[in-house]
Amino acid sequence: MEDAALNDTVNRTWRIARPIAGIPGRDDFALAPMPMPVPEDGQVLMRTIYISIAPGVRPMMPYASAAPDVAQGARREEIDDSNPNPSLIRVGDKMRSGIVPSDSPFAGGTVGQVIESRHPNYKPGDYIFGGRYWQDYEAVDGDASLKIDPAELPIEADLSLIGRSSFTGWVGWKFYCDGKPGETIVISAAAGNIGMLVVQLAKQAGLKVIGIASGADKCRFVTGELGADACIDRAQEDIGEALDRLAPEGVDIYFDNVGGKTRTAVYEKLRMFGRLIVCGMAAEYNGMESGVLTTGAILAKRLRIQGFVVLDNDGDYGDFRADMARMWREGKLVWRQHIFEGLESAPDALAACLSGRNTGGKILVRVSEDTSKTA
């Protein structure tokens, strides 16, 4: 794109407009034009095509009242942009999806197409995974990004099939679940991007798989397409009663993506030497739900409770990517995406993600034309 044309191009960005109560809504954000980014040495200018939407961004956003202590002791004030963990997003800041600072090539939240390059490994027209903001154009560090080939996988796969959420599910299953054939695993948010993968990996490993999802359509997806043995509709069923029916001998593993009341209900059904794997707390991020665990059961049942953060496993990303590509080629993976159209739809996409009001699968926002589909 010529410099003159770039100067005339509108570059919109979403910013946080105010502290947010509950689930973020459109009025909590402000969409406004900003100057076109100018890439420095080692950077490229990318046109954003897809943005990843995930619930884990909510605890980083400002709260209108006391923030839910989802970390229970990890002080939010100690997280800043010099720390490799995701940093706080404050009122007036640009809204983001990926991790800031760019601590690895696998930490982005958007994919797009290179418009201008000042990095030797990229040229205009290349597709790139590495942006982090809810905006039309972004200057990104080439060394902290990945060049992607649409001939291998659709470009949005780096946000979904082989994206950070999938990586999280793979890490949780591979390193923490210790699943064995014949055991029973329960997976909450089973129709979401993390849950989708864990359901399939556990089933392939010979476990009895029970999903938990919101709504009949999602439950049908979990059993009919992902292959789970059963799925509990948390919007219509009492989870404890459903587990008494579906797993009368108890649960060996609970892969927890939501926390809150759902965690409490499944925790009470863990059997001797059961494992509670804490991956996420989506139900608690908006301050509308919480859960309390009785500690006596940990001793009596010899339970193992393991939380994990995928940032600790960045060194395993190459193995994950190779494993996923192999399973995809062998036809062993089912995937679903829910795409919102246009940058202006991003707040609605985040609200749908946090409330469960979506069709299941990985939630993306398509910001501009995906030219890789027509090339």
In a domain, 325, yes or no: no
Q: Are 70 and 55 in contact (CB under 8 A)?
A: no
Can you give the pLDDT at residue 102? 63
Q: How long a stretch of residues is the chain?
A: 375
**Position 307 pLDDT exceeds 80:** yes
Q: In whole angstroms, what is the distance from residue 49 CA to residue 372 CA?
A: 10
| CB-neighbour burial class of residue 135 (10 A; exposed 0-12, middle 13-18, buried 19+) | buried
- Residues 168, 155 share a domain: no
Q: Which residue has the higher pLDDT, 357 or 179?
A: 179
307 shares a domain with 199:
yes
User: Which CATH number characterizes residue 274's domain?
Assistant: 3.40.50.720
327 occurs within a structural domain:
no
The model carries a pTM of 0.81
Specify whether 118 is located in the same domain as 242. Answer: no
Provide the domain count of the chain: 2
Predicted confidence band of residue 181 (pLDDT cuts 50, 70, 90): very high
Mean pLDDT of the chain: 88
* pLDDT 10s digits, 243-266: 999 999 999 999 999 988 999 999
Q: Tell me which residue range forms the domain holding 304.
A: 164-311
Residue 340, helix vs strand vs coil: strand
Is residue 213 assigned to a domain? yes
For residue range 114-127, list pLDDT tens digits in order: 999 999 999 999 99
Assess whether 191 and 299 both reside in one domain. Answer: yes
Looking at the fold, whether 31 and 154 belong to one and the same domain comes out as: yes
Tens digits of per-residue pLDDT, 315-361? 898 899 889 988 988 999 998 889 999 999 999 999 998 887 777 78
pLDDT: which is higher, 355 or 307: 307
Q: What is the pLDDT of residue 54?
A: 86
Please list, in sequence order, all residues whose beta carbon lies within 8 angstroms of the beta carbon of residue 251, skipping any fewer than 6 positions away.
184, 185, 186, 210, 243, 266, 269, 270, 271, 274
